[in-house]
Amino acid sequence: MATAPGADYAAMLKRWLSQILWIAPEGVIIALLLAINAIVPSIWIGAGMTLLVVTFISRITALYLTSRALFQARWEAADALATVASMLHPWSPDALALRGAIALARSDSATAVRLLQRAQRLAPNRSAITAALSGAYLEEGEPQAAAVAARRALELDPANAAAHLHLAQALAAIGARAELIEDQLRAGLAHHPEPDAEASLRCALAHHLAQEERWAEAALALSAARAVLPHCSAAQRAIVSQRIAEIDRAIHSAREDHAA
């Protein structure tokens, strides 16, 4: 049975209002105060609106600075700023997701899973948060849960490079066919991701090709990862540089064994 247009509109409006409440609850309160102030002007209502605006600006600034600190691998600063953002809005999916990312960077995967699960429940249609949760599941040694989360992230955004990477890693951990893993990695690269994601995808592809004893292709993938490296964030550059060195050693060792 077809859904009535009015019901579709009501459901859409409900989703929109829900997103506004989670992302910017101050906006709803400010709108209500404006309406009340139009009927019953009051200096206290004006003061309340000013306080809410300052709170909102402070929270958005804290979220932005947290992202910048993460990009620069300044974990202590990122943690402090994310804590401020959480205090200003304890149910903010963005603040929770950033705290989850910080926990993951500090190898605290259990905390990362907990925080990202909360963020994902609050914002189930945010592909980036679901993809991050998939990565946390991988670090916790839960490839089945990681694959489910990665597939959900790709349903929301087929171009999500992190979701492609995490799904490929989950499939490898589960023992899926090699061609399925390679397809996921190449699909992620086909969407021309930003440098951090591209470097990770190319490293993963190089590692996969090396395992398949396709040495020349693996070396080419590794060269492509090196070319992207200068454009990566400080945090990602350190991780990917170490990964490139490990894969490079493995390729050279395998080639020498094969030649012998």
**What predicted TM-score, i.e. pTM, was given to this entire model?**
0.77
CA–CA distance, 9 with 154 (Å, rounded to integer) = 26
Averaged over 3-15, what is the pLDDT?
48
Domains observed in the chain = 93-176 (1.25.40.10), 194-260 (1.20.58)
Environment class of 101 (CB within 10 Å of its CB; exposed 0-12, middle 13-18, buried 19+): buried
pLDDT band of residue 20 (cuts 50, 70, 90) is very low
pLDDT in tens, 143-165: 999 999 999 999 999 999 999 99
Q: Is the pLDDT of residue 16 over 50?
A: no
Residue 40 DSSP one-character state: S
Cβ atoms of 218 and 202 within 8 Å: the answer is no
- Over residues 51-71, the pLDDT tens digits come to 767 777 777 787 788 788 877
Is a pLDDT exceeding 90 seen at residue 33? Answer: no
